[in-house]
């Protein structure tokens, strides 16, 4: 009697395979859709590609970075690179507002893997089988652009987070990471300096 369950499951799998003619179950590759520059009978001008509606703002618009009027500075801010190398400075004004934004976005997007303190200790990191996320605190010698391009383009097994963070938010996270790195190496008043073992 137990053999009926696997047999029924196998029949169900066969009958609901990917080659079903049902419109509801069809594969995405074979759905009706327009390709780039394809003609369309639906629109009066015959084009499938449409102009964005008036007032649409592209994701990377620099209205959020009004301090960057120079096109070269804007390009550095967008890519995180100057002359093909990661930029060593943060190209936006770093103030309390930016750091507050950076902390908020870091905690939402980055802390799940890199930990709240940036040390790589997190529940998600403990369960990663491939490669543990690095401690950001150990990477203080890396230029600011390194962190920006990692967020923007991805790095190793880390995907790009450009869809979750706009340009200003990415730099805000980089600035906040710098604060975490600096805080780790700052001694409080009266704290003894560690002595070498004798």
Q: Which of 181, 186, 185, 175 is nearest to 99 (CA)?
A: 175
The pTM of the full predicted model, rounded to 2 decimals, is 0.64
What class, spelled out in words, does domain 62-184 have in CATH?
mainly alpha
Instruction: Tell me if residue 112 falls in helix, strand or coil.
Output: helix
pLDDT at residue 45 tops 60:
yes
Q: In the chain, where are the structural domains located?
A: 62-184
Q: How do residues 101-111 score in pLDDT, each as one tens digit?
A: 999 999 999 99
pLDDT of residue 133: 87
| Distance of alpha carbon 68 from the chain centroid | 23
Provide, rounded to the nearest whole percent, the portion of the chain with pLDDT above 70.
Answer: 73
Burial letters 65-86, b for 16+ CB under 10 A, else e: beebeeeebbebbbbbbbeeeb
Q: How do residues 141-164 score in pLDDT, each as one tens digit?
A: 999 999 999 999 999 888 999 889
Question: Mean pLDDT lowest for which of 19-23, 87-91, 97-101?
Answer: 19-23
pLDDT of residue 80: 92
């Amino acid at each position: 009697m137990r053999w009926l369950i696997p047999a029924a499951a196998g029949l169900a799998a066969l009958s609901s395979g990917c080659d079903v003619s049902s419109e509801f179950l069809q594969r995405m590759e074979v759905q009706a859709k327009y390709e780039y520059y394809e003609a369309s009978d639906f629109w009066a001008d015959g084009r499938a590609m449409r102009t964005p509606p008036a007032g649409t703002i592209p994701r990377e618009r620099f209205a959020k970075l009004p301090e960057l009027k120079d096109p070269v500075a804007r390009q550095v801010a967008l890519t995180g690179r100057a002359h093909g190398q990661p930029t060593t400075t943060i190209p936006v004004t770093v103030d309390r507002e930016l750091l507050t934004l950076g902390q908020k976005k870091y905690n939402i997007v980055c802390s799940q893997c890199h930990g709240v303190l940036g040390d790589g200790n997190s529940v998600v990191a403990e369960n990663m089988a491939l490669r543990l996320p690095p401690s950001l605190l150990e990477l203080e010698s890396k230029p600011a652009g390194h962190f920006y391009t990692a967020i923007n383009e991805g790095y190793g097994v880390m995907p790009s987070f450009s869809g979750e963070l706009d340009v200003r938010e990415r730099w805000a996270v980089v600035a906040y990471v710098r604060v975490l790195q600096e805080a780790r190496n700052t001694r409080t008043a009266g704290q003894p300096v560690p002595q070498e073992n004798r």
